[in-house]
Structure 1
Amino acid sequence: MLIFWKARLVLLAVPKTGTSAYEAALAPHAAIVVSDPPELKHAPVYRYNRFFRPMLEKMGAPDMDVAAVIREPVSWLGSWWRYRQRPFLDGRPTSTKDVGFDAFVEAWCQGDRPAFANVGDQSKFVEPRPNGTRVTHLFRYEEPDALDAFLAERLGVEIAVGRANVSPRAAVELSSETEAKVRRKKAAEFDLWSGIESGRRLAKP
C-alpha cells in the first residue's frame, strides 16, 4: 500500500496485480509505504477502513481517494497458481507444484478452500464498507497506460514502472467445463473486472 499525503491518494496493493512494481517505482514519492507484513501491505478495503482511514482522518485528510487494480479473474488465478509452484513452497500445504490449473481453479470455487487455493477474491478485496469507505478509482491490470497516466497527473511525476515479483512461466489453460463453472460460480469476479472503466471516478452509492 502506498499513501500519497499531498495528493490525497491511497493505492491499495491487490495481490498479483503488479503493485510491487509500482511500489518500487513510486516509494520515493509516497508519504507512507506499507511493505510489511503482508496482511498490511495487501490490506483490503475493510482493513484500510479499520486501521488506516481513522489515522489519516485524525491527521486532517478525511477525503482520501482510494485506487486499486483488478486483473482478469482467470489470469489472476493463473498468476497465483504459478507463484505457488515456486520451490520455496515445496512440501507446504500452499504449494501447487503437483496441482494442475484446472484442479486449482476447481478448488478455488469451493466454499471451504484447501490451503493451496485459499487466495481470496478480488471482489471481496475492494468491497465497500457500510460507512462509505470504498475504492474511488478502479483500473484494469491489462490497461497499465490508464493507471500510469492517472498517477502521473495526480502525483505530478513521471511514471517508469518495471517488473517485480514475477511468477514463473507456465502454461495456463482451463478446460471448457472448468471455465464455465468458474464463470458461473464466481460471476461477481468477472462482473467487477468487465465493468471497469479504467480511472473513472466511481459514483457514490
Structure 2
Amino acid sequence: MIAAPKYGFVVLAVPKSGSTALEAAFAKHAQLVTSGPHSLKHVGVQGFERDIAPLLDEHGYPRTGYEVAALVRDPVSWMSSWWRYRSRPGIVGTATYTGEMSFDEFVGRVSTGEIDLPSQSSYVTGPDGAPGVDRLYRYEDLDDFLAWLHECLGPKKARKSQLKQRNVSPERQHEVSAATRDLVEEVYAADVALHRDVATGRLTGR
C-alpha cells in the first residue's frame, strides 16, 4: 500500500496488479508505505479503513482529504500471472512451486481449495460486498490510472515517477481452454463481475 494523502491518494496493493512497480515509482512521494508481510503490503480496503485511515487522521490527514484507489485485473490473466510467478526458479521444492504444473491443473487445484488465492474483490469491497474504494481501474487501463496519479502529484514530481517493470513473472506459454476459462469465471465470479463493471475513473455511489 502506498499512502500519499499529502497529494490526495492512497493506492491499495491488490496482488499481481503491478503493486511492486507502483511502489518503486511512487513511494518517494508517500507519507506511509506498507511493505514486507503480505498482510501489510496487501492490506484491503476494510483493513485500511479500520486501522490505517485513523492513523493518518491522527497525523493531520483526514479521510476526506484523499481518495483510495486500486487496480483489478481480468481473472484469467490474474491467475496466469500467479501460476507463472510461482514457477520461478527461486522457489523450486517449496509447497507453492508450480513449475511442474500445467495451467489447467493449477486452476483445478485453486477451484478445490487446495491452493488458496484470495479473490481480488476481497481487497476492494466493503462488508456489504460493494466496492469500498473511491477509484477503481482495470489493470488493462494502467495508463489512465498513472495519468490520474501524475495529475495528483503535479508535473514536476510526475516526471520523476515513471513506472518500470518489477517482480515480473517468468514467461510460460499456455493455452486457456474454454473449460478452464469457465472454471475461473465460476470460482471468481465476483471478480469477473467487478472487472466487467468497472468504468475507468471515479466510482459513483461510494
The answer, yes or no, to whether TM exceeds 0.5 is: yes
Match of 1:59 in 2: 59
Q: 1:135 to 1:172 in 2, by over 3 A?
A: farther
Aligned length: 199
TM-score of the pair, normalised by structure 2: 0.89
User: Which among 139, 143, 146 is matched to residue 145 of structure 1?
Assistant: 143
Match of 1:119 in 2: 117
Is the 2:75–2:184 Cα contact (8 Å) retained in structure 1?
Answer: no
For residues 154 and 194 of structure 1, the distance between their equivalents in structure 2, rounded to whole angstroms, comes to 26
TM-score of the pair, normalised by structure 1: 0.89
Q: Per-residue displacement from partner, 1:84-103 (whole Å, max 9, x unpaired)?
A: 01122212111112211011
Q: In percent, how many aligned pairs have the same letter?
A: 39
How is 1:68-147 mapped onto 2 (pairs within 5 angstroms)?
Answer: 68-110=70-112, 113-114=113-114, 117-129=115-127, 134-147=132-145
Is the 1:49–1:133 Cα contact (8 Å) retained in structure 2?
Answer: no
How is 1:32-51 mapped onto 2 (pairs within 5 angstroms)?
Answer: 32-51=32-51
AA aligned to 2:59 is: M
1:19 aligns with 2:4: no
For residues 119 and 45 of structure 1, the distance between their equivalents in structure 2, rounded to whole angstroms, comes to 17
Q: CA deviation at 1:133?
A: 9.0
5+ long unaligned stretches in structure 1: none
Q: 1:14 to 1:187 in 2, by over 3 A?
A: same
For residues 187 and 38 of structure 1, the distance between their equivalents in structure 2, rounded to whole angstroms, comes to 24
Q: Per-residue displacement from partner, 1:102-157 (whole Å, max 9, x unpaired)?
A: 111122222xx22xx32211011112146x99211001111111111110111213
Deviation beyond 6 Å, 4+ runs, structure 1: none
Please provide the CA RMSD for this pair.
1.8
Greater fraction of residues in helix = 2
Does 51-60 or 33-42 show the bigger shift?
51-60
For residues 11 and 75 of structure 1, the distance between their equivalents in structure 2, rounded to whole angstroms, comes to 21
For residues 118 and 126 of structure 2, the distance between their equivalents in structure 1, rounded to whole angstroms, comes to 16
Q: 1:118 to 1:81 in 2, by over 3 A?
A: same
AA aligned to 2:167 is: N
SS at match of 1:109: helix
SS at match of 1:6: helix
Is the 1:70–1:140 Cα contact (8 Å) retained in structure 2?
Answer: yes
